[in-house]
Amino acid sequence: MPPAEPTLAGLPNPLLRYVVATRPPFLSVTLVGCLLGLAVAHATGAAIDATKAVVTVVFALLAHAGANVINDYYDALSGCDAANTDRLFPFTGGSRMIQNGVLTLPQTARLGFGLFALVVPAGLWLAAASAPGLILIGLAGLLLGWAYSAPPLKLVSRGLGELVITASWLVVVCGADFVQRGAFSWTPLLFGVPFALLVANILFINQFPDVAADRVAGKRTLVVRAGPLEARWFYLAIVALAYGWMVVLMDRLRLPGAFGVAVVPVLMSLRAGRTLLLHAAEPAQLAPALKLTIGSALAHGLLLCGALVAAGHALQ
């Protein structure tokens, strides 16, 4: 059975309400993105500083939490979450904290922007401990997290959500690597692309149950623009690009065969894609595909981390 939506009676502790509003289970993709960046840094010969690594992970999670809350806030303003009767909680339709009366709009706004504000001093400290270029990476991450749903840009409403998510998780991977390396490198970007694309596919498939509400609220996502039956093919295109990139990367960089484990989760993506092809216009049937899509992204990232760590400093 899916978990029950949050209610004021079910969350009597005020602090717990704020924690739940950040949607903690979905922060796992940022944790894996940070681990991937650290694994790339290790595999290319960088000495891993444990303190800087922990600070990087903690504040990347806070930034993602802030982005989740800010997205909830602007989706509440647009009315799309309130109108979403086809949602598959907890995957789509937002956290339901505002719609169910657990938090008010002002409380949600203060939480989201407050979390963003907490990231700034940590980013400055990490930049001082590594290199000033980290400030650019951090600013890019915060800008993308805000511009995804906030006016006037509202990039997800312009059909650009997938590009924003891909760029955001490339920032996560490259940022975690940069803190350890102290310089920009193409290597984390190359290894981060498949993972970032798979994270973008989580956003993409989540738009299918939300399509009717998004259309009513004027949130013109890629699925709204193309329509569910046409858009379903984009899912498989993203899967092909992500795992195809990984295969080409293995060939061009002459990576050990052990890196092939990072391609195995394609089976989860293909199973999810089959479900989407059959039920793109039937939101209630898509829950298994949503879970498999999340699982594919996490499994790919973790398996790639394992391969990079096992390779030692082979990428120097």
| pLDDT tens per residue across span 225-255 | 999 999 999 999 999 999 999 999 999 999 9
Cis peptide before 90 (omega within 30 of 0): yes
In the predicted structure, residue 89 carries a pLDDT above the cut 70: yes
Mean pLDDT (whole number) for 131-150: 93
Mean pLDDT (whole number) for 120-127: 92
Q: Looking at residue 311, what is its pLDDT?
A: 87
Mean pLDDT (whole number) for 166-183: 96
Q: Looking at residue 159, what is its pLDDT?
A: 94
Mean pLDDT (whole number) for 32-60: 96
**Higher-confidence position of 1 and 35:** 35
Q: Looking at residue 3, what is its pLDDT?
A: 80
In the predicted structure, residue 200 carries a pLDDT above the cut 80: yes
- State the amino acid at position 228 in one-letter form: P
Mean pLDDT (whole number) for 87-112: 95
Q: CB of 184 within 8 A of CB of 160?
A: no
Q: How confident is the model at residue 1 (pLDDT cuts 50, 70, 90)?
A: low
In the predicted structure, residue 102 carries a pLDDT above the cut 90: yes
Q: Looking at residue 195, what is its pLDDT?
A: 98
Name the residue with tokens 């259309």. 215
Residue 174, number of CB atoms within 10 A of its CB:
27
Q: Looking at residue 310, what is its pLDDT?
A: 92
What gap in Å lies between CA 268 and CA 272, rounded to an integer? 6
Name the residue with tokens 């800010």. 70
Mean pLDDT (whole number) for 61-68: 96
Mean pLDDT for the chain overall: 95
Domain borders along the chain are 14-310
Cis peptide before 152 (omega within 30 of 0): yes
In the predicted structure, residue 2 carries a pLDDT above the cut 70: no
In the predicted structure, residue 9 carries a pLDDT above the cut 80: yes
Helix, strand, coil fractions of the chain, as percent rounded to 5? 75, 0, 25
Q: Looking at residue 312, what is its pLDDT?
A: 81
In the predicted structure, residue 316 carries a pLDDT above the cut 90: no
Q: Looking at residue 62, what is its pLDDT?
A: 95
